[in-house]
Chain A
Amino acid sequence: MSRLKAFFIGIWEFVVGDDWRTALGIVLALGATVLLADIGTAAWWFMPPAVILVLALSLRRAARAVARG
């Protein structure tokens, strides 16, 4: 059991890394793109600003964490 748990923790850390909010943001952005495409509007424009926002927020969190020491 503990080996299985360690395996899944390893996979999680490998894919998601140390900022799960980034992964969540990308999943939500892709979900929103699916919805936009489904209602028949141009959906391509959504991902670039969403990715920039997710990255900027992640960097801000990291910079604040460093500032707090």
Chain B
Amino acid sequence: MSGAELGLAVSVFLACAVEAVEALTIVLAIGTTRSWSSAMAGVGAATVALAAIVAALGPALTLLPIDVLRVVVGGLLLIFGLQWLRKAILRSTGLKAKHDELESFREETAAARAASRDGGSGFDGYAFTISFKGVLLEGLEVAFIVLTFGANQHRVGLAAGAAAVAVLVVLAAGLAARAPLAKVPENTMKFAVGVMLSSFGMFWGAEGAGAKWPGDDAALLAIVPGMLIVANAMVWILRRSQRSAEQALARTDVPDLTRARI
């Protein structure tokens, strides 16, 4: 396995694990308060829909000329990766609230209890719909990453395999814990995925645009750590400016005692 393929597998695994943790919280909340069979039917339907999207778009993407594919997909991956990275940096600095699985679980459970039930029939439409939407929406981001990463390296199968392994790992952990996976370091994983998507997007986008990286694929060995250092530096700068702003605010709140004495 080459370095780029390893990067592909790790990025897809981490992205998929994060999204699977969030989807698991929704399904657990619906299953425990409403109906397990209807919730699992929703999960199954969403999984089939996601598989159909990957199966339909994957081969179509790989038919595009490689330079067109790289500039378009690299650009999309970069835009997408910067979204993840921006949110992860803002969460690391406290400027954006961190995702709390236990809080999400409580909210979903309360909403599920409050929703009315269909009379009589064993099928629970609410449980099916919420599970279906939850898994589909969380899964779409993964499908996008699987398709873009996989198509660029003509390894959609490897990307889909990494995604499947991540889902199985999260599912096994969820079954073992029988509770939302609140201890998973979601923001750290999102930070890592943001760095990887941005780095690979930059690499492929520039290559597709006609640039030739020094060392070809080996340039990724500089781009990925470089992006990681930059992202951490941005966290540090934002924290520092926040502290300075708080100190300035505290100073203006303190009454001027020297003047009072005079």
Number of interface residues of B (CB under 8 A): 39
Q: Which chain B residues in 73-131 approach chain A with CB under 8 Å?
A: 74-76, 78-80, 82-83, 85-86, 89-90, 95-96
Chain B nearest CB, measured from A45 CB (Å): 8
Q: Mark A35-56, 1 if CB is under 8 A from B, else 0.
A: 0111000111011100110111
B177 at the interface (CB under 8 A from A): no
A54 contacts across to B, CB distance below 8 A: 82
Are A43 and B209 closer than 8 Å at their CB atoms? Answer: yes
For the complex formed, measure the closest distance between the CB of A39 and the CB atoms of chain B, giving whole angstroms. 10
> B211 contacts A37, CB within 8 Å?
yes
CA distance A27 to B72 in the complex (A): 10
Q: In the complex the two chains form, is A51's CB within 8 Å of B210's CB? A: no
Say whether B238 contacts A33, CB under 8 Å. no
Task: Evaluate contact between B230 and A47: CB separation under 8 angstroms.
Answer: no
Asked if B202 lies at the interface with its beta carbon under 8 angstroms from chain A, I say yes
A42 vs B210: C-alpha distance when bound (angstroms): 9
Selected from A15, A16, A37, A58, the residue in CB contact (under 8 A) with B209 is A37
B230 touches which of A19, A52, A63, A66 (Cβ 8 Å): A52
Flag if A43 contacts B210 (CB, 8 Å).
Answer: yes
A15 touches B80 (CB 8 A): yes
Within 8 Å CB of A30, what residues of B?
Answer: 71, 74-75, 205-206, 209
Q: Please determine whether B82 and A58 come into contact, CB atoms closer than 8 angstroms.
A: yes
Across the interface, name the chain B residue whose C-beta is closest to A31: B209
Q: Is the CB of B79 within 8 A of A15?
A: yes
The distance from the CB of B52 to the nearest CB of chain A, in whole angstroms, is 17
Chain B residues with CB below 8 A from A58, complex form: 82, 86
Chain A at the B interface: SS class: helix
B140 part of interface (Cβ distance < 8 Å):
yes
Max chain A C-beta neighbours (<10 A), residue from B79, B90, B227, B241: B79
Complex: A59 Cα to B219 Cα, angstroms:
26
Minimum Cβ distance to chain B for residue A67 (Å): 7
Q: Which residues of A contact B75 (CB under 8 A)?
A: 26-27, 30
Q: Which residue of B76, B205, B212, B241 has the most chain A CB atoms within 10 A of its CB atom?
A: B205
Partner of A33, one of B95, B140, B206: B206
**B198 interface residue per 8 A CB criterion:** yes
- Given A48-B202, A62-B90, answer yes or no on A55-B82 (Cβ-Cβ < 8 Å): yes
CB A35 to nearest CB in B, in angstroms, measures 9
A sample of 19 inter-chain contacts (CB < 8 A) reads A16-B79, A22-B79, A22-B86, A26-B205, A27-B75, A30-B206, A30-B209, A31-B209, A33-B209, A33-B211, A37-B211, A43-B209, A44-B212, A51-B198, A51-B227, A54-B82, A59-B234, A59-B238, A62-B90
List 20 additional contacts besides A46-B206, A59-B90, A59-B234; criterion CB under 8 Å: A22-B79, A22-B82, A22-B83, A23-B79, A36-B210, A38-B210, A42-B212, A43-B211, A46-B211, A47-B206, A47-B211, A48-B226, A51-B198, A51-B202, A51-B227, A54-B82, A59-B238, A63-B95, A63-B241, A63-B242
